[in-house]
Chain A
Amino acid sequence: MSTIPDIAGSRHSVAGAGRSLHAVEALPLLRLDGLGKTYRDPMTLKPFTAVRDVTLELERGEIFGLLGPNGAGKTTTIKMILGLARPTSGRVLLDGREPSDPAARRKLGYLPENPCFYDHLTPLEYLDLSGALFGIAPDVRRSRAQELLARLGLAAHARKPLRKFSKGMTQRVGLAQALINEPTLLVLDEPMSGLDPVGRSEVKALLREQRARGVTVLMSSHVLSETESICNRVAIMNAGALVEVGAVASLLASGVREWEIAVDRLPDVVAASFRSAGYSMEPIGSRTVVRIAEGDALQRALRALVEAGVFVHSVEPRRETLEEHFVRVLGLGAAS
């Protein structure tokens, strides 16, 4: 009799342990906790706060955009993430470790802003050096280097000195060296900088490919239209502080700015009534686009068009772009 409760008890405890295991949350790949950085002018010792109280967590497998105007503190934040600069307050944890611990950087890939590499080397030699610093075996790093150079369209330039490379080509070498260790976290400072539209499109495809493999990407960018199309979440920084953090879709979801009705041919009477109601109208090709700001007005306009027998081609909500949102948020920040 006495064994049954024990067995039951042990089963209970195992089940309990199972529940507690499930209850443990996965460690965030990157956590910034109240991060701050104040520099002092070496001559006057006057303090300058570059980053203040930044708290963020990156989820595994997402592309996270760090946005902000020049001097917002994006690059300083990235430097602290990499251990290139020491925080004056708060801390950074890379997969649970301080960035100063080399082990924390073993699965990290980094592309600096306006990258500059050893120009006495060729891309193959530079990638070999990068691979060696990660402790990758020589034959593995050689084959990875060749694959990456082919993937980034540099196979034909593999043995050309880096000093002869254009800005766009150097940027591609930068991406290749960031990927040589098959990272789980990619930190890219302005990855679209210096690239032509084809290059940007290739980089976006590469980042989507990395996300599909489960890689987490943190990227800073000025090119907001590009960021909007690939980032899952963004953070907007201004004057060293975080202004807003959220999923791109939710940040922009509330922002239906106006409705656009495309019609074939607008009778003069209807056009006059729309004009008096304050709707804007713009002829585009053989069609006219009517823009209406409010939902109620949209219903009234649609009724009027149907009653007048006008053929309605489309009715589309025009949402706020990330760029418009960015300008609006920073404008509000400045006003407050």
Chain B
Amino acid sequence: MISAGAIAIAQNTIREAVRQRMVLVLALFGVGLLAASQVLSPIALGEGQKVVTDFGLAGSSLLATLLAVVLGSSLLHKELERRTIYAVMAKPIRRSEFLFGKFLGLWVTAAALVAGMTLIVLGLLAVAYGASPWLLLGSMALTVIELGVITAIVVFFSSFTTPALTALFTTATIVAGHFADDLLYFATQGASAWIARTTQAVYWLLPHLAVFNARGQVVHGIPVEPERLAFAAAYGLLYMTALLLVAGVIFERREFR
């Protein structure tokens, strides 16, 4: 059950993101990207549908990730710097609720960007190639869950560090999260036992973002299996919950000076 206070904070976060016009700029950029994919499709030797699908899904995921990282990095810092948080926290709301509201607002904003862009891709594919729209929905759902995990990572880092470091740590975690399996493979090939153990620990701590990437198979017309979707949803929710709980504890203990 989400508290009314957290919902109010989430609504305010969405309103702020929309009024900052960053969402609009990114949406326009996404539309431009899709238009470019249409221009490129004639030279793709009959693979135009794949180009549009690939461009559309990867572009929407990338832009929404960018939105989450850029807006999320200064999410709490701006509140503390401008002291807007003082009047809010004097009201009957827990710091963890405030943090959750911020997370929720940012996640919904990023998810709406992905959903909007996916709808455009769907429309484009249906009109230009007469393709079935249902194939892309599984991939979109996975991207939305992935964005939840990324937003939770941003909120976690922003609960105790500066915007620049939050952006840096989050980007590093996203990159490492996409290559978690490779990291484990290379670190355990002939490395010392200590390095192997440390790498294994890091491997389990990192978000396994590859779980959420079904774009490769969707481009080739293979739908996302319901079992995969269920596993990704369970893993994603667990990861988000764990990160938000730790972030909540850190933020509860933080001093407002």
Contact = CB atoms under 8 A, between A and B. Distances in A.
Interface stretch (A131-139, A195-203, A240-248): A131-139
B94 A84 contact: no
Interface in A132-186: 132-135, 174, 177, 181
Given A120-B15, A132-B4, A132-B8, A84 B256 contact: yes
Interface residues of A, number: 34
B83 A116 contact: yes
Given A110-B90, A120-B19, A129-B8, A86 B255 contact: yes
A134 B84 contact: no
Interface string B60-86: 000000000000000000000011101
Interface residues of B, number: 26
B91 A105 contact: yes
A134 B4 CA distance: 9
A302 interface: no
Nearest to A110: B90
A121 B87 contact: no
A117 B87 contact: yes
A115 B87 CA distance: 8
A133 B150 CA distance: 27
A252 B200 CA distance: 73
B246 interface: no
Contacts of B20: 120
Nearest to A118: B84
Contacts of A208: none
A82 B90 contact: yes
A297 B8 CA distance: 69
B84 A133 contact: no
Contact of A133 (B15, B16, B86, B88): B88
B92 A134 contact: yes
B250 to A, nearest CB: 14
Interface in A6-63: 39
B12 interface: yes
A39 B255 CA distance: 10
A118 B83 contact: no
A103 interface: yes
Nearest to B101: A133
A102 B94 contact: yes
* 5 interchain residue pairs of minimum CB distance: A110-B90, A132-B8, A102-B92, A133-B91, A120-B19
Interface of A: 39, 79, 82-86, 102-106, 108, 110-112, 114-118, 120-121, 125, 129-130, 132-135, 174, 177, 181, 187
